[in-house]
Amino acid sequence: MPRKPLGDRPMSNAERQARHRAVRAAALPVIHYRRTADLLTLQAEYRAWLQTLPDSLQEGATAEALQIIVDLDLDELQAIEPPRGFGRD
Protein backbone atom coordinates (compact mmCIF):
# COMPACT_ATOMS: atom_id res chain seq x y z
CA MET A 1 0.00 0.00 0.00
CA PRO A 2 1.53 3.35 -0.99
CA ARG A 3 2.18 6.01 1.63
CA LYS A 4 -0.12 8.99 1.89
CA PRO A 5 1.27 12.17 0.32
CA LEU A 6 2.61 14.81 2.69
CA GLY A 7 0.70 17.56 0.89
CA ASP A 8 -2.45 17.66 -1.13
CA ARG A 9 -0.73 15.91 -4.05
CA PRO A 10 2.09 13.37 -4.38
CA MET A 11 5.60 14.79 -4.81
CA SER A 12 7.37 14.44 -8.09
CA ASN A 13 10.70 12.62 -8.26
CA ALA A 14 12.53 15.97 -8.50
CA GLU A 15 10.72 17.31 -5.41
CA ARG A 16 11.46 14.15 -3.46
CA GLN A 17 15.14 14.29 -4.46
CA ALA A 18 15.38 18.00 -3.53
CA ARG A 19 13.83 17.30 -0.12
CA HIS A 20 16.24 14.40 0.45
CA ARG A 21 19.26 16.54 -0.46
CA ALA A 22 18.11 19.38 1.79
CA VAL A 23 17.72 17.03 4.74
CA ARG A 24 21.12 15.47 4.10
CA ALA A 25 22.82 18.87 3.78
CA ALA A 26 21.36 20.17 7.05
CA ALA A 27 21.80 17.02 9.14
CA LEU A 28 24.77 15.72 11.09
CA PRO A 29 26.87 12.98 9.50
CA VAL A 30 25.11 9.65 9.30
CA ILE A 31 26.70 6.90 11.38
CA HIS A 32 26.55 3.57 9.59
CA TYR A 33 27.88 1.34 12.35
CA ARG A 34 26.31 0.33 15.61
CA ARG A 35 28.02 1.71 18.67
CA THR A 36 29.38 -0.80 21.17
CA ALA A 37 27.22 0.58 23.95
CA ASP A 38 24.18 -0.13 21.79
CA LEU A 39 25.32 -3.72 21.32
CA LEU A 40 25.83 -4.17 25.05
CA THR A 41 22.36 -2.77 25.73
CA LEU A 42 20.85 -5.11 23.17
CA GLN A 43 22.70 -8.06 24.65
CA ALA A 44 21.32 -7.21 28.11
CA GLU A 45 17.80 -6.99 26.68
CA TYR A 46 18.23 -10.38 24.98
CA ARG A 47 19.52 -11.86 28.26
CA ALA A 48 16.38 -10.60 30.05
CA TRP A 49 14.21 -11.97 27.24
CA LEU A 50 15.90 -15.37 27.50
CA GLN A 51 15.37 -15.47 31.26
CA THR A 52 11.65 -14.69 30.91
CA LEU A 53 10.90 -17.20 28.16
CA PRO A 54 8.15 -19.64 29.12
CA ASP A 55 9.18 -23.22 29.84
CA SER A 56 7.54 -24.40 26.64
CA LEU A 57 9.98 -22.28 24.57
CA GLN A 58 13.18 -23.04 26.50
CA GLU A 59 14.17 -25.83 24.10
CA GLY A 60 13.23 -24.05 20.87
CA ALA A 61 15.12 -22.18 18.18
CA THR A 62 14.36 -18.80 19.77
CA ALA A 63 15.97 -19.80 23.06
CA GLU A 64 18.96 -21.23 21.21
CA ALA A 65 19.46 -18.02 19.20
CA LEU A 66 19.10 -15.87 22.31
CA GLN A 67 21.62 -18.04 24.17
CA ILE A 68 24.15 -17.62 21.36
CA ILE A 69 23.75 -13.83 21.52
CA VAL A 70 24.04 -13.81 25.32
CA ASP A 71 27.21 -15.94 25.16
CA LEU A 72 29.00 -13.51 22.80
CA ASP A 73 31.96 -11.74 24.40
CA LEU A 74 31.54 -8.10 23.43
CA ASP A 75 34.23 -6.75 25.76
CA GLU A 76 36.82 -6.73 22.97
CA LEU A 77 34.49 -4.68 20.77
CA GLN A 78 34.07 -2.14 23.52
CA ALA A 79 37.81 -1.41 23.48
CA ILE A 80 37.97 -0.78 19.72
CA GLU A 81 38.33 2.85 18.69
CA PRO A 82 37.19 3.24 15.06
CA PRO A 83 39.46 5.29 12.80
CA ARG A 84 38.55 8.78 11.63
CA GLY A 85 36.12 8.81 8.74
CA PHE A 86 33.57 6.47 10.29
CA GLY A 87 31.05 9.16 11.28
CA ARG A 88 33.40 10.66 13.88
CA ASP A 89 34.92 13.53 11.85
Residue 30 lies in a domain: yes
Q: What's the pLDDT tens digit per position in 18-55?
A: 988 887 887 666 565 666 668 888 999 999 999 999 99
Residue 53 lies in a domain: yes
Task: Provide the domain count of the chain.
Answer: 1
The three-point CA angle 23-27-33 to 5° equals: 110
Residue 46 lies in a domain: yes
For 51, the domain range is 13-79
Residue 3 lies in a domain: no
Q: How far apart (Å, rounded) are the C-alpha atoms in residues 55 and 40?
A: 26
Cβ contact 67:50 at 8 Å: yes
Q: How far apart (Å, rounded) are the C-alpha atoms in residues 54 and 63?
A: 10
**pLDDT over threshold 60, residue 88:** no
Residue 85 lies in a domain: no
Residue 74 lies in a domain: yes
Cβ contact 88:82 at 8 Å: yes
